[in-house]
Amino acid sequence: MSVNPIDLATEQLAPQHEIALPAGRPRGAFRAGAAVFVQNRLAVAGLAVVVLLVLFCFGGPLVYHTNQVDVNLANATLPPGAGHPLGTDETGYDELGRLMVGGRASLTIGFAAALIATLVGTLWGAVSGFFGGLVDAVMMRVVDALLAIPILFLLLYLVTIVRPSVTVMIVVLGLTAWLIPARLVRGESLTLRMREYVQAVRMMGGSSWRSVLRHILPNVAGTVIVNATFQVADAILLIAYLGYLGLGISPPATDWGGMLSKGTNFIFPNYWWLIYPAGILIVLVVVAVNFVGDGLRDAVEVRLRRR
Amino acid sequence: MAGYLLRRVAQALAVVLFVTVIVFILLHQLPGGPARAVLGNRATPLEITQFNQDNGLDRPVPVQYLVYLRHWLTGDFGFSYKLNQPVGALLAQRLPKTLVLNALALVLTIAVAVPVGIYQAVRRNRLFDYVATTLAFICYAAPTFYLGLILVLVFAQKLNVLPPEAPQSDGVVPIFADFRGMILPIVTLALLGIAGFSRYMRSAVLDNLTQDYVRTARSKGCSSSRVLSRHVLRNALIPIATLIGLSLPALFAGALVTESIFNFPGMGLLFWQAAQTSDYPVELGVVLVTAVATVLGNLLADLSYALLDPRVRYA
Amino acid sequence: MIASRWRIGAALTIVALAATGCSTVGSSPGGNPPGKAAGIATFALPPNTVPNWIWPLTPIGNFSVINAGVFQELMYRPLYWFGDSKGGPGLNPDRSLAELPAYSDGGRTVTIKLKPYAWSNGEQVTAANVLFWINMEKAEKANYAGYVPGQFPDNVQSATAVDDSTVVLKLDRAYSEQWFTYNELGQITPMPKAWDVTAPGTPGGCSASMAACPAVYKFLSAQAKDLSTYATNPIWQVVDGPWRLETFKTDGHVAFVPNPKWSGSPKPSLKKVVLAPFTTDAAEFNVLRAGQTLDVGYLPTSDVTQAKPAGEAPDKAGANPLSSRYTLSPLFLYGVNYFPLNFGNPTVGPIFAQLYFRQALQSLVDQKSIITAAAKGYGVPTTGPIPLYPDSPLVSDLERQNPYPFDLDAAKNYLTSHGWNIVPGGTSSCAHPGSGPTECGAGIAAGQKLEFDLQYASGQQTVDTAMQSLKSNAAKVGIQLRTSTAPFNSIIGLAVPCSGSKCTWQLANWGGGWVYAPDYYPTGEDIFGTGAASNVGSYSDKAMDALMRDTTIRSGVEPMQAYEDALARALPVIWQPNYTYSLTEVANGLSGVTPQNPFGTITPEDWHY
């Protein structure tokens, strides 16, 4: 299972990108960045799609009521028809309602896991890069070692000792995904700590933690945000993959990936309503989030802004 | 440079050891242990005790690890509890197949992604760029287990131009004799890689195209293609080199889903099946191979960086 | 302008990808089996399973339907063969190497007369070969899968070869003839003198004396651990069955060719039998559909396009999506499906110990609907320890009628009549604690809730649906089942006999139940007996133990049905539907594959084009 190669490689690129934003000018930077973002039609479209999907999953059940608790085996795997616009699944649940349930799990896990991974990874990377030397070596070797462990094994281990629920999956995915932001942020903060203003703060007697919090973190914000959006997409895909392997959320809870992987059993009998809706929604949300991430990357990239 | 290499190799060894220690500890924390998983639910307590004794599982965990380490240093990777084969033989059987599949997929990925990415950057924001971007995102977003099955459905069933499974021959050489069966698995794997690599290539070329040295070269009279091939490409390949280095572990670790769909048992399936049956020796053997591949990949990527970018020097 | 171009481009690509995904069931022409021209039959192995143990003295970790019935038994015939000519689970005298055993001396003496069979190296199958096995099993009990403490060969006081073809066993007491023949003598596979060695060419003497067996065991098991030499090692080339190994690859590609020296009948008409391994059933189905390779394959249940009509015979095939090339033949293994309750759990054990609770829980299992919805009709309900299908004279009327059919009202009644306050959709609790006839029962506190953990193995659609259905039905009477999935081996590792505060598992379903092999006579003492290794829930009932003991001691159908009815009523476990082991697809033009053996054994000597 590969991690988003784009993020892995950006770490190496980091020293070449000069983030010329000194700390302390957040408002101007935000407005300029927002302007660039809005110009990017794909990014705006992506954002709109994400918002629509969130509305569909969280607001949909308020409008479209289905029984997602009681199993109804007599109505299993019905094609779309009266009362069930997208048919029913293997246990008789309405498929459209199921997509809303699954979407809540997918989106929640995606965003929350990305948040945890980003927070933990950023802090780890910032501290490691800022202090440098032995601290950096040890912290980064820990990251290297954890990266070398097959992620499947880590996931299998974690899923075996705790029962998989949405919360557990968030923690599990967050804990396995923080390694990449850590590397990225470390690369950036290595460069940043050499900047004059940071050295000035240290000379003036400012504490290291203050430097990390006030100067390093705001300046890596750009990369971090971009990486976070890709983390969302990766988390949703990883949950789908886990569902395929039988390590995902336990029924009756479900997520789009689990629905898709169960659906792939029915390609031959052509139960298309169990396959394509879930698949299309996964592709849609991942593509949309990637477009948003692209737009954010352009917005924080100073060079492009000047063009 | 030599000093740097030595330090990195020492660090790499430390990382590999650390990885094996972590995995070893985690394995032994799993509830139940391998005895019941391997012997099944008809096992009597006598058989379980016998199994634990025969495999040294009743000794303290640190002692077990040291025994393992000693065996590894002599080249003995242990004996699979469930598969009734030496782990070394299993690795020797599966690793070449995985390497062939993944290496060919990587070659295809680079062969397609590099030109596509360059063309996208050069013709930025035109139709080709948008179509390629959208296709890339779709390929990235569609899970492999879905993509693979669709490919089999279309090419092997409906159009009937390719076999539905990978070559079943023993060993690697006969694979090339009956290559048609490898096409679909390689394409399935490559699609995901192409999506990522081409996006990255596009971004890297774009970044370089806006650099000052390009303007300088153009103003000196170099043609676009010369600028592209002589200057931009070399710099834009740096991140690709990194990506290849980072793909090295995957080359060895196998591709679980592709192997399952196309009936091509490789390292991915070996590890997965071992994990499902608590087959510790096999799991540890695969982890060892992957850890070595990872640190090797990192090292090679860093070294290639020095090759491609003269600004990078290692003390 | 740019945006609209993007939209067109994107739309085109999405539509193209989606369209290629839509499929209709295409039928391919022809009914010519792929292997007919060459006289070869290719048999698909179940997903993720390859033969990996050749020596019939199989250790517990390697015992499987595949190793025994699709590998060893083609080459090394067991003394007695199970699976009759109609597909039933009874003993098959024609395929056995010996006549039916004769019991005398009040049942304490067994005389086994061997038929004239030859080994491929010229030896005859003699009584010494049988003693070789018995001595070896005596010496290496812990290393044989079929050994049960206290049973064979512990219950054999002496085994002697009266002449070359007669073995006489003296037992420690009289046993049921059926039980002893099926479950004890059924363990024996005669081994040739060529195997009685401690090194190539050095005789061991295990058939004469048990003391010599450990050295022979060491040698033979070392040979068995060397997979790459299975086809070349002269030891394994000595066979008495219709087939011998031509090639053996560790990845599961195995080829058998006929053994010209086979003494039995029918003689094989095929030139070769090839086993084909598969990673998943999806991979196998893709190959099966292509119709180029497999002569005998299987249809994954999820690819059955149309459910079989209810009420038909279990082995009758429904609509077959591959009918143009293959014939569908459902195969059930002789076994029962269930999941255990942990009587040893200190908190919920007292609730489980109450019969009315188990009756209520069983009444919430809608076996018929699960079979139709999840297994597309290819399943048989389980109502007691004797499988309902394949049918046999052992099945009692009580089992046929099903003492606990699916009935929500009955479930409610069981609980309310014993002092429980039912909260449909919520959690029921004990309103009348105590030990009286209308009270909750001993050890159950006032207000104790009916909420339990139910862990089950992931990856099987039928188990998923069954557990979801149970959870949903149970909620209707206020029983809250906290379901969660885990990999199969986690469940196996979790569901062990235990007691005390660390004994925390409550309900666990590994999705497999029990197949009656090598215990072909379903007397149940291995599963439900007090202290039995496979009695993972620690069920213990003295009266039941006595009934089970009776089935091993007294011959005939009556003790079996007495035990059967008592156990069906007592519900030591929660029964689940028994699904097909395989929806076998046989290429049109290949005959002799059906009726299939209910223990999963294949007999390719019967197959012909």
Q: How far is CA C354 from CA C18, C275, C412, C498, in A?
A: 55, 49, 15, 19
Least confidently predicted of B27-31, C234-238, C360-364: B27-31
CB under 8 Å to A156, separation ≥6 — which residues?
A: A247, B275, C487
- Interface contact flag, C303 A269, Cβ < 8 Å: yes
**What gap in Å lies between CA C195 and CA C240, rounded to an integer?**
13
**What gap in Å lies between CA C64 and CA C515, rounded to an integer?**
10
Beta carbons of C93 and C99 less than 8 angstroms apart: yes
What average pLDDT does the segment C520-525 reach? 93
- Interface contact flag, C289 B157, Cβ < 8 Å: yes
Query: Which pTM value belongs to this model?
Result: 0.87
Judge whether B29 is closer than 8 Å to chain A, CB to CB: yes
- Interface contact flag, A237 B143, Cβ < 8 Å: yes
Q: Are strands C514-515 and C91-92 parallel, antiparallel or unpaired?
A: unpaired
CATH class of the domain defined by A50-62+91-304: mainly alpha
Using a CB-CB cut-off of 8 Å, the residues of chain C touching A90 are 373-374, 461, 464-465
- Interface contact flag, C465 A91, Cβ < 8 Å: yes
Residue C31 is predicted with a pLDDT of: 61
Residue C225 is predicted with a pLDDT of: 93
Residue A212 is predicted with a pLDDT of: 67
User: For testing the chain C interface, which of A156, A169, A247, A250 should be mutated: the one with the most C CBs within 10 Å?
Assistant: A250
pLDDT of B169 strictly over 70: yes
B69: nearest Cα among B112, B31, B19: B19
pLDDT of A21 strictly over 60: no
Residue C12 is predicted with a pLDDT of: 38
Question: What would the pLDDT profile of C324-356 be if each residue is shown by its tens digit?
Answer: 999 999 999 999 999 999 999 999 999 999 999
Q: Are strands C507-509 and C451-457 parallel, antiparallel or unpaired?
A: parallel
Ramachandran angles phi, psi of A81, nearest 5° = -175, -155
Give chain B's radius of gyration (CA, Å): 24
Judge whether B271 is closer than 8 Å to chain A, CB to CB: yes
C511: nearest Cα among C392, C415, C609, C374: C374
pLDDT of B309 strictly over 60: yes
Q: Which residue has the higher pLDDT, A206 or C303?
A: C303
Beta carbons of C601 and C390 less than 8 angstroms apart: no
Domains of chain C, CATH where assigned: 6-76+238-332+581-606 (3.40.190.10), 93-197 (3.90.76.10), 336-579 (3.10.105.10)
Residue A27 is predicted with a pLDDT of: 52
Question: What would the pLDDT profile of C135-173 be if each residue is shown by its tens digit?
Answer: 999 999 888 988 888 899 999 999 999 999 999 999 999
Give chain A's radius of gyration (CA, Å): 22
Judge whether C3 is closer than 8 Å to chain A, CB to CB: yes
**What gap in Å lies between CA C454 and CA C341, rounded to an integer?**
9
Query: Cβ–Cβ contacts within 10 Å for residue C333, how many?
Result: 24
Residue C566 is predicted with a pLDDT of: 96
Q: Which residue has the higher pLDDT, B214 or C430?
A: C430
Question: What would the pLDDT profile of B111-165 be if each residue is shown by its tens digit?
Answer: 999 888 888 888 877 888 888 888 888 888 888 888 888 898 889 888 888 988 8
pLDDT of A155 strictly over 60: yes
Report the percent of chain C where pLDDT is more than 90.
Answer: 78
Element housing B254 (H / E) = none
Question: What would the two tokens of residue C167 be?
Answer: 């073995």
**What gap in Å lies between CA B161 and CA B157, rounded to an integer?**
8
Element housing B65 (H / E) = helix B61-73
pLDDT of A225 strictly over 80: no
What is the chain B residue with the closest CA to C17? B150
DSSP for residue C307: P
Beta carbons of B117 and B205 less than 8 angstroms apart: yes
**What gap in Å lies between CA A42 and CA B125, rounded to an integer?**
11
pLDDT of C28 strictly over 60: no
Q: How confident is the model at residue C476 (pLDDT cuts 50, 70, 90)?
A: very high
**What gap in Å lies between CA B114 and CA A6, rounded to an integer?**
14
DSSP string of C178-223, one letter each residue: HHIIIIIGGG-----GGG-EEETTEE--TTT-GGGHHHHHHHHHHH
Question: What would the two tokens of residue A20 be?
Answer: 């010329």
Q: How confident is the model at residue A13 (pLDDT cuts 50, 70, 90)?
A: very low
Q: How confident is the model at residue A29 (pLDDT cuts 50, 70, 90)?
A: low
Using a CB-CB cut-off of 8 Å, the residues of chain C touching B147 are none
| Residue pairs between chains B and C whose CB atoms are closer than 8 Å | 153
Helices (H), chain A: 5-13, 26-39, 41-54, 60-63, 95-131, 133-148, 151-161, 166-177, 179-192, 196-203, 208-211, 217-245, 256-263, 276-300, 302-306
- Interface contact flag, A4 B196, Cβ < 8 Å: yes
Least confidently predicted of A225-229, B161-165, B283-287: A225-229
Residue A47 is predicted with a pLDDT of: 93
Cα angle C523-C528-C531, degrees, rounded to a multiple of 5: 120
Q: Which residue has the higher pLDDT, B264 or A162?
A: B264
How many residues does the structure list for chain A?
Answer: 307
Nearest to C53 among B50, B84, B153 (CB): B84
A208 exposed, middle or buried (CB, 10 Å; 0-12, 13-18, 19+)? middle
Residue A160 is predicted with a pLDDT of: 72
pLDDT of A133 strictly over 90: no
pLDDT of A24 strictly over 50: no
**What gap in Å lies between CA A97 and CA A69, rounded to an integer?**
11
DSSP string of B20-52, one letter each residue: HHHHHHHHHHSTTHHHHHHH-TT--HHHHHHHH
C310: nearest Cα among C379, C248, C365: C379
CB under 8 Å to A212, separation ≥6 — which residues?
A: A126, A127, A130, A189
What average pLDDT does the segment C231-246 reach? 96
Judge whether A227 is closer than 8 Å to chain B, CB to CB: no
Question: What would the two tokens of residue B217 be?
Answer: 């070269």
Give chain C's radius of gyration (CA, Å): 27
CB under 8 Å to C39, separation ≥6 — which residues?
A: C269, C270, C271, C272, C609
Question: What would the pLDDT profile of C551-573 be if each residue is shown by its tens digit?
Answer: 999 999 999 999 999 999 999 99
Domain limits, chain A: 50-62+91-304
Q: What is the residue whose two structure tokens read 């007669």?
A: C166
Q: What is the residue whose two structure tokens read 């806006």?
A: B210
Question: What would the pLDDT profile of C49-87 be if each residue is shown by its tens digit?
Answer: 999 999 999 988 889 999 999 999 999 999 999 999 898
Nearest to A287 among B14, B138, B295 (CB): B138
B270: nearest Cα among B93, B121, B56, B124: B93
b vs e for C357-385, b when ≥16 Cβ sit within 10 Å of the residue's Cβ?
bbbbbbbbbbbbbbbbbbbbbbbbbbbbb
**What gap in Å lies between CA C279 and CA C299, rounded to an integer?**
15
Using a CB-CB cut-off of 8 Å, the residues of chain B touching C493 are 30-33, 36-37, 278
b vs e for C201-230, b when ≥16 Cβ sit within 10 Å of the residue's Cβ?
eeebbbbeebebbebbbebbeebbeebeeb
Question: What would the pLDDT profile of A43-61 be if each residue is shown by its tens digit?
Answer: 899 999 999 999 999 999 8
Q: How far is CA C554 from CA B198, C89, C178, C547, in A?
A: 76, 20, 9, 10
Question: What would the pLDDT profile of C298-312 be if each residue is shown by its tens digit?
Answer: 999 989 988 898 888
Question: What would the two tokens of residue B214 be?
Answer: 């390009």
| Residue pairs between chains A and B whose CB atoms are closer than 8 Å | 141
Beta carbons of B79 and B85 less than 8 angstroms apart: yes
Ramachandran angles phi, psi of C419, nearest 5° = 85, 25
Question: What would the pLDDT profile of C493-516 be if each residue is shown by its tens digit?
Answer: 888 899 888 899 999 999 988 999
Using a CB-CB cut-off of 8 Å, the residues of chain C touching B41 are 492, 495, 510, 534, 536
Q: How confident is the model at residue C8 (pLDDT cuts 50, 70, 90)?
A: very low
pLDDT of C603 strictly over 80: yes
Beta carbons of B225 and B278 less than 8 angstroms apart: no
Residue A159 is predicted with a pLDDT of: 72
Nearest to A5 among B23, B197, B291 (CB): B197
Beta carbons of C589 and C30 less than 8 angstroms apart: no
Beta carbons of B136 and B194 less than 8 angstroms apart: yes
Question: What would the pLDDT profile of C409-419 be if each residue is shown by its tens digit?
Answer: 999 999 999 99
Residue B244 is predicted with a pLDDT of: 77
Question: What would the pLDDT profile of A63-82 be if each residue is shown by its tens digit?
Answer: 888 888 888 888 888 899 88
Q: How confident is the model at residue C27 (pLDDT cuts 50, 70, 90)?
A: very low
**3 state DSSP class of A65:** coil
Q: Helix A5-13 vs helix A179-192: angle between axes, to the nearest 10 degrees?
A: 10
pLDDT of C182 strictly over 70: yes
**What gap in Å lies between CA B256 and CA A238, rounded to an integer?**
13
Rounded to the nearest 10°, the torsion over CA A273, A275, A281, A284 is -120
User: For testing the chain C interface, which of A71, A241, A262 should be mutated: the one with the most C CBs within 10 Å?
Assistant: A71
- Interface contact flag, B170 C251, Cβ < 8 Å: yes
C157: nearest Cα among C170, C168, C140, C167: C170
CB under 8 Å to B53, separation ≥6 — which residues?
A: none
**What gap in Å lies between CA C70 and CA C52, rounded to an integer?**
11
Q: Are strands C451-457 and C429-430 parallel, antiparallel or unpaired?
A: unpaired
DSSP for residue C231: T
